Amino acid sequence: MSFSPRTIAFFLAVLITTITVVFLSFVPGVTAAMLFVVGVSCLFGSFFFVFYTIDILVFREVEQIYKTIQKMKIRDFDISRKSLIRSVNPIKRLNSEISTYVTRKQQEIDELKKMEQFRREFLADVSHELKTPIFAAQGFIHTLLDGAKEDPKVLDRFLNKAAKSLDGLDALVRDLVTLSQVEKGDLKMHFENIDIKHITEDIFEQLESKAQSRGVTLKIKPKDMQSAWVLADKQRISQVITNLVDNAIKYGKENGKIIVEIEEEKKYYQISVEDDGPGIAPEHLARIFERFYRIDKSRSRETGGTGLGLAIVKHILNAHHSKISVTSKIDKGTRFTFKLPFASQELSR
């Protein structure tokens, strides 16, 4: 329970008045009228005396604390001098404001520490990822310069390997640029009405030869679907579907089947990319969207993976106010799912 200075002053004044009047009533010759006058003046006198004493003491301190806060130039300390002075219990108010502020600052400090840790890890990961293809290309070229170039077969093989490493480096740098742009919000999304069914067919065409080389068949479900119009950034959503189908080809089983299913819901289309590959173990499932997280590092590198594909997918979908989810069963396959809203009527007019 908390008391305001006014309430405390009132109770103390009543107490002082009662004691005074009771004592005075024992004094011979004191009339009722005298007791009344003394009582009233004592009540008012002591009330104002106590009230101003508390008030001055409390507010002097409060003002002092307020000035200190002002000196600290805390912009996000949202308490005005007026509201503080006017509040019933300023010390309590100040106390609660300070503790809210301290909690908020603590959260900010924790967040900054986490980001710092994350930045350090990211820098270490990037340097490592850059080092691998650079060292490989450097190794092949130096070996050639040291004499291996005399053998035309070795020359051809090593040049091809160096070129492959540099292609990997190029893919990595491009993915890093995309990721940092999406994260910084620099990448302006250009929302328009697009036919996701048509886009998927185009992507299937582009990935056809890669799928064929592993004997994988690509299918859209439902078969008889004519079109599926959604509101999205065409280029970025193409990138999402390409990454998911490309992964399904790379990590799915040979001679397997990949199905892109487009389901119509109430206000959106649900798009799933499903393969019948080896699946992803539960301990990896939550982490595959992290940057550079790979289940099988050598398989990923061998297939030209940068380890950034799913992180990019996640960020692009976030920018579409959508989310990617994944379910997987070992030896049965993996299914990635996301939603996109129906095309806008206004845009199609």
Residues within the interface to ligand ADP (CB under 6 A): 243, 247-248, 251-252, 275, 277, 280, 288, 293-296, 300, 305-311, 334
Residues with Cβ within 8 Å of 273's Cβ and at least 6 positions away in sequence, in order, are 241, 244, 245, 248, 258, 259, 260, 335, 336
> In the bound complex, what is the minimum distance in angstroms from residue 303's beta carbon to ligand ADP?
7
Residue 329 pairs with which residues in a beta bridge? 333
How many alpha carbons lie under 13 Å from residue 256 in its C-beta half-sphere?
Answer: 22
Q: Is-contact 305 250, C-beta < 8 A?
A: yes
Distance CA(182)–CA(174), nearest Å, equals 12
> In the bound complex, what is the minimum distance in angstroms from residue 287's beta carbon to ligand ADP?
9
> In the bound complex, what is the minimum distance in angstroms from residue 280's beta carbon to ligand ADP?
5
Q: Which is nearer to ligand ADP, 61 or 302 (CB)?
A: 302
Residue 263 pairs with which residues in a beta bridge? 270
> In the bound complex, what is the minimum distance in angstroms from residue 274's beta carbon to ligand ADP?
9
Q: Which is nearer to ligand ADP, 192 or 290 (CB)?
A: 290
Question: Regarding beta strands 333-341 and 325-329, do their DSSP bridges make them parallel or antiparallel, or are they unpaired?
Answer: antiparallel
Q: Which is nearer to ligand ADP, 91 or 259 (CB)?
A: 259
> In the bound complex, what is the minimum distance in angstroms from residue 290's beta carbon to ligand ADP?
8
Residue 86: CB atoms within 10 A of its CB come to: 10
Q: Which is nearer to ligand ADP, 322 or 328 (CB)?
A: 328
Q: Is-contact 318 257, C-beta < 8 A?
A: no
> In the bound complex, what is the minimum distance in angstroms from residue 299's beta carbon to ligand ADP?
7
> In the bound complex, what is the minimum distance in angstroms from residue 221's beta carbon to ligand ADP?
17
Torsion over CA: 228, 234, 236, 239 (sign): positive
Residue 247: CB atoms within 10 A of its CB come to: 23
> In the bound complex, what is the minimum distance in angstroms from residue 213's beta carbon to ligand ADP?
17
Q: Which is nearer to ligand ADP, 51 or 292 (CB)?
A: 292
Cα Rg, the chain, nearest whole Å: 37
Q: Is-contact 337 325, C-beta < 8 A?
A: yes
> In the bound complex, what is the minimum distance in angstroms from residue 326's beta carbon to ligand ADP?
8
Amino acid at 176: L
Which tokens belong to 145? Answer: 């310069």
Q: Is-contact 245 260, C-beta < 8 A?
A: yes
Closest CA to 269 of 339, 170, 186, 175: 339
Q: Where are the alpha helices (DSSP H) in the chain?
A: 5-25, 32-71, 81-86, 90-145, 152-184, 196-213, 234-251, 282-285, 297-302, 309-319, 345-348
Q: Which is nearer to ligand ADP, 142 or 329 (CB)?
A: 329
Which tokens belong to 18? Answer: 């009662």
